């Protein structure tokens, strides 16, 4: 199945899991309610969000995209809702926010889980009443915007932890489209690989695309693709760009050595002689399944603390020095992890 998306982005896939998503997307597009698109990085969330807009009755209006993770908290609010001149340092002129820009259209809030609770409160109001205020203004504005949110984290868990408002989640979750990781739609790997390969061959002005060698096909099928379609695209582009003979099947798969699911985490250790050394620390991270960021970083921190305590024979002042922390910073960390 080839479906035209904007910016000449073709959505490719034939696996049952993918076709189900496309169906769900077509149904959700029609009914003009908020939609959440959930999926690991690189699974195509942006493509699906665009598709939702272009299949919706709003398709001729603006499709505005904001990456919520790209801006600090206060700037994000002004980006979304606009501000009046003089409302904060640096706000010299009035600025129209993205909600106003997206009026009658769609606003795609990518990485929505990273928004602050204060921004979430404002988002809740817009989704419930269609109203908001520019930062620094008392005047209430009315807007008619369809919100599509995307994230790669589990929002119910975030809500239970108090990082995401339950009420906003309920509002946004009228339709939830969860994209399968590439490793769960293996039927699509070669199809996608071929398409990406063909595109590069065309760019290189080859007569035709010679396909992949058997070894390369095996390697593509065996890899777990933690970076999903984005990773596959990069691997294929690299392989086809590096291939020297346009008539020989592409044979050199170069899966980024740094993108291994078993990639160890490194920390810099300082030696007594003042030199630094990079050493490996075993962490529970990245085996290709979704990760709870909070839990994973806490485990990582605890591992470092335990390791440092042990090698300093449990002397806290030495441990602090070992980790370049003050004694109080170390105590704070130990308390945080219930290690006192
Ligand atoms: N079904 C698909 N068919 C073709 N290309 C895809 C598909 N899904 C994703 N891609 C490509 O993979 C890359 C990552 O997609 P993107 O939508 O940015 O993922 P996400 O937002 O989930 O990280 C993009 O280059 C996109 O064009
Ligand atoms: Mg994305």
Nearest atom in ligand 1 to 229's CA: 12
The pLDDT confidence band at residue 264, using thresholds 50, 70 and 90, is low
CATH (domain of 218): 1.10.8.60
Residue-by-residue DSSP string for 312-331: TTT-HHHHHHHTT--HHHHH
Is the beta carbon of 49 within 6 A of some atom in ligand 1? Answer: no
Q: Is 44 in the pocket of ligand 1 (CB under 6 A)?
A: yes
Residue 256 confidence (pLDDT): 57
Quick one: 112 and 163 in the same domain? yes
Nearest-CA residue for ligand 1 atom 15 is 44
Residue 187 pLDDT greater than 50, yes or no: yes
What percentage of the chain exceeds 90 in pLDDT? 66
Q: What is the pTM of this model?
A: 0.75
**Paired sense of beta strands 2-4 and 10-12, if any:** antiparallel
Q: Is 230 in the pocket of ligand 1 (CB under 6 A)?
A: yes
Tens of pLDDT, residue by residue over 117-157, are 999 999 999 999 999 999 999 999 999 999 999 999 999 99
* 72 and 159 belong to one structural domain: yes
- The Cα–Cα gap between 25 and 5 comes to 13
Closest Cα to atom 17, ligand 1: which residue?
Answer: 44
pLDDT for res 282: 45
Rounded CA-CA distance 317/115 in Å is 38
Cβ burial, residue 220 (10 Å; 0-12/13-18/19+): buried
Query: Number of structural domains, the chain?
Result: 3
Nearest-ligand number for the alpha carbon of 1: 1
For 89-126, the pLDDT digits (tens) are 777 788 899 999 999 999 999 999 999 999 999 999 99
Query: Residue 27 contacts by C-beta under 8 Å, 6 or more apart in sequence?
Result: none
φ/ψ (deg, to 5) at 147 = -100, 130
What is the pLDDT at residue 154? 92
> CA distances (Å), 52 to each of 30, 106, 127, in order?
8, 9, 18
Residues 86 and 167 in one domain: yes
Q: Are residues 199 and 173 in the same domain?
A: no
Among 258, 274, 309, which residue terminates a domain?
A: 258
Task: Verify that 97 and 189 share a domain, yes or no.
Answer: no
Question: What does the pLDDT look like over 10-49, one tens digit per residue?
Answer: 899 999 999 999 999 999 999 899 999 999 999 999 999 9
What angle (nearest 5°) sits at the alpha carbon of residue 153, between those of residues 188 and 71?
A: 110
pLDDT, position 288: 60
By C-alpha distance, which of 170, 195, 148, 194 is closest to 39?
Answer: 148
Ligand 1 centre to CA of 9 (Å) is 9
- Sign of the CA dihedral 97, 101, 104, 106? negative
Instruction: For ligand 1, say whether the CB of 15 is within 6 Å of any of its atoms.
Output: no
Q: How far is the CA of 62 from the centre of ligand 2 (A)?
A: 19
Compute the average pLDDT of residues 75-101.
89
Name the closest-CA residue to atom 8, ligand 1. Answer: 44
The residue whose CA has the least distance to atom 16 of ligand 1 is 44
Instruction: Cite the DSSP H helix spans in 56-183.
Output: 73-81, 98-101, 117-129, 155-160, 166-172
In this structure, which ligand is nearest to the CA of 110?
Answer: 2
User: Which one, of 143, 146, 49, 65, lies nearest residue 105 by Cα?
Assistant: 146
State the Cα–Cα distance between residues 271 and 238, nearest whole angstrom: 39
pLDDT band at 243 (very low <50, low <70, confident <90, very high): very high
* Cα separations in angstroms, 63 against 52, 69, 101: 10, 19, 9
Q: How confident is the model at residue 5 (pLDDT cuts 50, 70, 90)?
A: very low
For residues 179 and 73, which has the higher predicted lDDT (pLDDT)?
179
Please tell me if the CB atom of residue 47 comes closer than 6 angstroms to any atom of ligand 1.
yes
Ligand minimally distant from the alpha carbon of residue 44: 1
Provide the residues around ligand 2 (an ion) whose CB is within 5 A. Answer: 46
Concatenating the DSSP letter of every residue in 10-59 gives EEE--SHHHHHHHHHHHHHHHT---EEEE-STTSSHHHHHHHHHHTSTTT
Contacts of 120 (CB under 8 A, 6+ apart): 164, 165, 168
Task: Give the list of residues 6+ apart from residue 2 with CB closer than 8 angstroms, or none.
Answer: 10, 11, 12
The rounded distance, in Å, linking the Cα atoms of 79 and 69 is 12
Do 281 and 147 share a structural domain? no
Mean pLDDT of 217-229: 92
Mutate to test the pocket of ligand 1, among 1, 39, 42, 153 (most ligand atoms within 8 A of CB): 42
199 lines ligand 1 (CB under 6 A): no
Same domain, 131 and 274: no
Instruction: Using pLDDT thresholds of 50, 70 and 90, give the confidence band for residue 257.
Output: low
Same domain, 170 and 35: yes
Containing structural domain, residue 305: 265-336
Q: Is the pLDDT of residue 302 over 90?
A: no
- pLDDT band at residue 269, thresholds of 50, 70 and 90? low
Do 171 and 119 have their domain in common? yes
Ligand approaching nearest to the C-alpha of 39: 1
Give the long-range contacts of residues 231-234, CB within 8 A, separation 24 or more. Answer: 231/42, 231/182, 231/256, 231/259, 232/182, 232/189, 232/192, 232/193, 232/196, 233/192, 233/196
Assess whether 68 and 160 both reside in one domain: yes
Q: What angle do CA 225, 228, 234 make, to 5 degrees?
A: 90
* Smallest CA separation from ligand 1 atom 13, residue: 230
Do 82 and 186 belong to one domain? no
Cα-to-centroid distance, 67 and ligand 2 (Å): 8
**Banded pLDDT at 289 (limits 50, 70, 90):** low
Identify the band that residue 192 occupies on the pLDDT scale cut at 50, 70 and 90: very high
Determine the pLDDT at residue 287.
55
């Amino acid at each position: 199945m080839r479906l035209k998306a904007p910016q000449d982005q073709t959505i490719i896939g034939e696996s049952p899991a993918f076709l189900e998503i496309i169906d769900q997307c077509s149904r959700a597009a029609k009914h003009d309610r908020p939609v959440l698109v959930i999926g690991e990085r690189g699974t195509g969330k942006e493509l699906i969000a665009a598709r939702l807009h272009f299949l919706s009755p709003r398709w001729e209006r603006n499709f505005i995209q904001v990456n919520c993770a790209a801006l600090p908290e206060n700037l994000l609010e002004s980006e979304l809702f606009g501000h009046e001149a003089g409302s904060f340092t640096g706000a010299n002129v009035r600025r129209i926010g993205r909600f106003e820009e997206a009026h009658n259209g769609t606003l795609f809030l990518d990485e929505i889980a990273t928004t602050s609770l204060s921004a979430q409160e404002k988002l809740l109001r817009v989704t419930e009443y269609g109203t908001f205020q520019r930062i620094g203004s008392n005047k209430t504005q009315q807007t008619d915007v369809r919100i599509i949110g995307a994230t790669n984290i589990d929002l119910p868990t975030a809500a239970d932890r108090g990082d995401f408002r339950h009420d906003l989640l309920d509002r946004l979750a009228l339709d939830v489209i969860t994209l399968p990781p590439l490793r769960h739609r293996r039927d699509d790997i070669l199809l996608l690989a071929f398409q990406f390969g063909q595109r590069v061959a065309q760019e290189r002005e080859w007569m035709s695309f010679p396909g992949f060698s058997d070894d390369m096909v095996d390697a593509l099928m065996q890899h777990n693709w933690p970076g999903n379609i984005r990773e596959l695209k990069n691997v294929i582009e690299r392989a086809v760009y590096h291939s020297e003979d346009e008539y020989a099947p592409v044979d050199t798969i170069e899966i980024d050595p740094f993108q291994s699911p078993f990639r160890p985490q490194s920390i810099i250790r300082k030696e007594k002689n003042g030199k630094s050394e990079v050493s490996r620390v075993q962490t529970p991270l990245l085996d290709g399944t979704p990760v709870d960021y909070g839990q994973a970083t806490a485990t990582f921190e605890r591992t470092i603390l335990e390791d440092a305590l042990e090698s300093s024979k449990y002397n806290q002042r030495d441990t602090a020095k070992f980790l370049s922390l003050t004694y109080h910073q170390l105590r704070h960390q130990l308390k945080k992890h219930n290690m006192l």
